[in-house]
C-alpha cells in the first residue's frame, strides 16, 4: 500500500490473506465442537435426570436445524434460509442464469 497522502474519499481496506479467513460454514461447526467439549464432559457427570434433559435439548436443537435446513433448500428466500445464511450454515445456493 502507498504510504503517501490519500484523498478523504479513498477507502482503506486492510488485506487479510484468504487462507486465514474461512467463508465456510464447517469452520463454525469445528469451533463450536471445540468449545462444546468441556460442556459435554460436564454433562457426563450430571445426575441421570439432568443428563436426560441435556440429551433432549440436544436432540431438539438437531431436529430444529434439520427442519430449517430442509425448509431453506425448498424455499431459499424464506426467513429460515436467511437465518441459516447469517449463521453460515445454509445449504449451497443454486446459481441460475
* Angular region, 88: left φ>0, alpha ψ -120 to 50, beta rest: left
In a domain, 80, yes or no: yes
Q: What is the dihedral of CA 35, 40, 46, 49, to 10 degrees?
A: 110
In a domain, 60, yes or no: yes
For residue 52, give its domain range: 47-92
In a domain, 37, yes or no: no
Between 21 and 42, residue with greater pLDDT:
42
pLDDT score of 23 more than 70? no
Q: Determine the pLDDT at residue 22.
A: 58
**How many separate domains does the chain show?**
1
CA 64 to the chain's CA centroid: 14
pLDDT score of 37 more than 90? no
In a domain, 58, yes or no: yes
Between 58 and 96, residue with greater pLDDT:
58
**How do residues 77-88 score in pLDDT, each as one tens digit?**
888 888 888 877
In a domain, 4, yes or no: no
Q: Locate cell 459435554: which residue?
A: 40
Amino acid at each position: 500500500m502507498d504510504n503517501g497522502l490519500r484523498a478523504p474519499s479513498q477507502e482503506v481496506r486492510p488485506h487479510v490473506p484468504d487462507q486465514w479467513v474461512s467463508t465456510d460454514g464447517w469452520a463454525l461447526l469445528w469451533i463450536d465442537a471445540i468449545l462444546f467439549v468441556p460442556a459435554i464432559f460436564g454433562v457426563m457427570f450430571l445426575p441421570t435426570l439432568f443428563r436426560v434433559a441435556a440429551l433432549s435439548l440436544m436432540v431438539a436443537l438437531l431436529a430444529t436445524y434439520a427442519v430449517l435446513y430442509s425448509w431453506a433448500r425448498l424455499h431459499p428466500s424464506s426467513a429460515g434460509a436467511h437465518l441459516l445464511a447469517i449463521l453460515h450454515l445454509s445449504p449451497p445456493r443454486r446459481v441460475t442464469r
